[in-house]
Chain A
Amino acid sequence: MGDSLLVDLSRLQFAFTTLFHFLFVPLTLGLAPWVAILDTMHYRTGDERYARLVRFFGSLLLINFAIGVASGIIQEFQFGMNWSVFSRFVGDIFGAPLAMEGLFAFFIESTFLGLWLFGRGRLPRRLHLATIWLFVLGTWLSAYFILSANSFMQNPVGFAIDPVTGDANLTDLGAVLFQPLTIVAWLHTIVGGVLAATVFVFGVAAYHLKRRQHVEVMRKAFRMAMITGIAAGALQFVVGDVLGVIMVDKQPMKMAAAEAVWETTGPCAPLGLVAVPDQEARDNSLFIGVPCMLSIVATNSLDGEVTGMNELQEQYEEQFGPGDYTPNVWIAFYSFRAMMGFGLLGAIWMVFAWWKTRRGRLPTSKLFWSISIWIIAAPWLGNLFGWIFTENGRQPWVVYGLLKTEDAVSDLSVGLVAVSLAGFVILYAIIGVIEFVLMRRYAIRGPMDPDEPMPGEPPRVESSAGAP
């Protein structure tokens, strides 16, 4: 059992670096297909407005992708550096999805992005278009493989414990790759990414429409983003609900914590709006809820009952021995609400914006446009709180029911981990600011002049004779 300060610092470093990485991942997942669709529309219609949008959103995608890749590298190292007991325990299982992520996803996304960026004019137009779609495929596959590893941590399947070493050995690859949790968690992440990207495009377009500049192209972007975003929001509502049902089954403790339910409820259980959980007393000091709603949401019936944390705690003590098996309820309750609230806020606002801009209207209200810009932040917060919720809710386990977080760390000195954490905070603060400034600058500058060449394209003047 490790030093508790060491465990805390190691967790803090993992949380910080992973959440920072996840600032950029959803936008890549959503913006990549967006640019690919625009490029396809340009190829199909020859409409120059699409080309300008490809150039514009393509450059934003690249700024974001560069830092997303850079900040993701640490994860492949950090498992071993800081979580070596965990690495030994799950290495046999994690190996397959991680190797697949490297060989089937990372190489595809990096190679074909290079070909797309620099290959315009060098590759036949159709082949060039295929490269951006292969890039999209790479990013989506990458998300799938890493989520199958994460899903194993949430709900271990397809393994057997080695009688000699006590570590988990892979026995069924299909179970690890295709368990329902993986598939639904992936959908949840992809739709979350699409939602973030559409709200981003919507907000950037709103900035220009507010100033009545680049109106012709930005109106197109605004409309496309609005329609996709509303659809993604509706879809996320369904996918999130399915994921919740799986979680109630696989991790009842997490879901009980999400609702701050200590004692098993009777029928017609209330859904909490405000709760002040008391972790020590294993009860809520304050709880305000909507009557019967929890029963409806969790069990789809009025008289459904929800198992409470105290009952689950007793079950786990019997199963795993003495110990506290309850995650931090305060974090669970509020991060769950923040995830849903912020996550859906963007989509809800887009429904309103759709009404305000119906039949080509452009509202004159400054407030409307300002909110449409600031709403960009909402899906980001939703995505971050989603990860905080699901990873906090898994505690005290790092691999659910098999390995506790406190037993999984490398036996390093506290000072060393403190120094590396400080290093990450400083470095990420600097590059985070640089990224934000660049994104803002490029977003505000707007689409370039139509005569400017695409990235990697020879200058228009020289190539006009042979232009495709």
Chain B
Amino acid sequence: MNLPVIFFFVIAFVWSVFVFLEGFDFGVGMLTRILGRSDGERRMMLRAIGPNWDANEVWLLTGGILIFSAFPTWYAAAFPSAYIPLLLLVFALIIRALAIEYRSKRPDHRWTQAWDNANLVAGFTLPFLVGVFWAGMVHGIPIDADGRFVGDSLWSHISVYSVLGGLALVAYSLAHGAVFLSLKVSGPLLERVTMTARGMSLITLALMSVFAVWTWLAYADDAIGATMAVLTVLAFAIVVMAVYARRWLLAFWGNALGALSFMVSIFAALYPNVLPSTIDDGFTLTIAEAAASSYALTVLTIVAVIGIPGVIAYQSWSFWVFRKRLTKDTVDAGHY
């Protein structure tokens, strides 16, 4: 194995962690508005992600930065090609951050309601666009022999396949958010959350299965592609069974496995390329062509080897500090 290939899968891992961690943040963002019947319930749901959502978001930024760092040519072709999806993604990230941080800054019903609506829209938009972005990448974009994007950036990432990928991630986020809340909240809200987890985990299993089989047959027709498809279906099937057995922690980790399978199957479908060209197969950008210099990659490897385990360590500690189930009293006293 060489450094570019290793780094290709490091990036797959970082994006998997992002989908795993932000998945429930996006889901909670939507469910706050959908399931919360009182201000107290809504604050409890936001409080569940309160200490960690901001750090979870950094996995997305890091995922983007590492593409820029390790594969500048890939970054320079893929990002302009997805101009509109990425622009809307950034808008949604901005709105989501303020919706969480500013909603409880004024005890005014219209104010909180407006932010909760904004969070609902952003919570839907974000996983949808992430799915569209990656599935669109698997499908390929118009790049020339020099690896430069030459198409129309309005539609280059939009196809039935990429929209399906987006919807699968939205369903997954709702299911994952509901599972996460089943571990965190208490009171009458808990029953509603668990019912949502049941429905959404079934829908997620259905959408993810179709997407996985499509990816396998259309873009990764080999043993690895088949394995990844089976793994994805298996992971989300485990989630469904765990949810119905009310084994929430198992369901939570099942979603982790699902997030990992989803992202890795996309990267496996791309491998040994980073970006297929829809103009000519010969123009397809390979891992080797897109990679940064070996000196730069060595530096990045050292940074990643120190940085990623370190981040996982202190972020896990933070989750452990805030592991307790929330009650009405802790929420009333807290920030938000």
Contact = CB atoms under 8 A, between A and B. Distances in A.
Nearest to B50: A118
B55 A111 contact: yes
Interface stretch (A70-78, A208-216, A345-353, A383-391): A70-78
Interface in A157-206: 162, 167, 169-171, 173
A96 B84 CA distance: 28
Interface string B301-324: 001101110110011001001100
Contacts of B89: 77
A95 B72 contact: yes
A371 interface: no
A441 B111 CA distance: 14
Nearest to A85: B76
Contacts of B199: none
B84 to A, nearest CB: 8
A66 B76 contact: no
Nearest to A170: B296
A106 interface: yes
Interface stretch (A97-105, A241-249, A393-401): A97-105
Contact of B333 (A85, A171, A458): A458
Interface residues of A, number: 71
B252 to A, nearest CB: 19
B295 A84 contact: no
Nearest to B68: A91
Contacts of A115: 51, 318, 321
Interface string A413-442: 100100010010001000100100010011
Contact of A412 (B93, B153, B333): B153
A90 B76 CA distance: 11
Contacts of A117: 50-51, 335
Candidate in B94, B295, B314, B322 with the most chain A CB atoms within 10 angstroms: B94
Question: Of A69, A81, A96, which is in contact with the most chain B CB atoms at under 10 Å from its CB?
Answer: A81
Given A102-B62, A111-B55, A114-B51, A171 B69 contact: no
A114 B295 contact: no
B293 A84 contact: no
A91 B318 contact: no
B9 interface: no
Contacts of A114: 50-52, 54-55, 318
A107 B50 CA distance: 15
A77 B72 CA distance: 13
A455 B321 contact: no
B91 A423 contact: yes
Interface stretch (B22-30, B95-103, B186-194, B229-237): B95-103
A208 to B, nearest CB: 20
Which of A63, A70, A423, A455 neighbours the largest number of chain B CB atoms within 10 Å of its CB? A70
Contacts of B308: 103
Interface string B64-76: 1110111111011
B65 A98 contact: yes
A102 B79 contact: no
Contacts of B54: 69, 110, 113-114
Contacts of B152: 413
Nearest to B289: A165
B249 interface: no
Closest 3 pairs between A and B when the two form their complex, measured CB to CB:
A91-B72, A95-B69, A80-B79
A95 to B, nearest CB: 3
27 contacts: A66-B97, A66-B98, A74-B94, A76-B65, A77-B86, A77-B89, A80-B76, A87-B79, A88-B73, A91-B292, A92-B72, A92-B293, A92-B296, A98-B65, A98-B69, A99-B304, A99-B307, A107-B311, A113-B54, A114-B54, A117-B335, A119-B322, A123-B321, A412-B153, A438-B105, A441-B106, A458-B329
A289 interface: no
Nearest to B88: A423
A85 B90 CA distance: 21
A459 interface: yes
A28 interface: no
Contact of A73 (B94, B299, B333): B94
Contacts of A90: 72
Given A91-B71, A412-B83, 4 more contacts: A98-B69, A114-B51, A115-B51, A416-B83
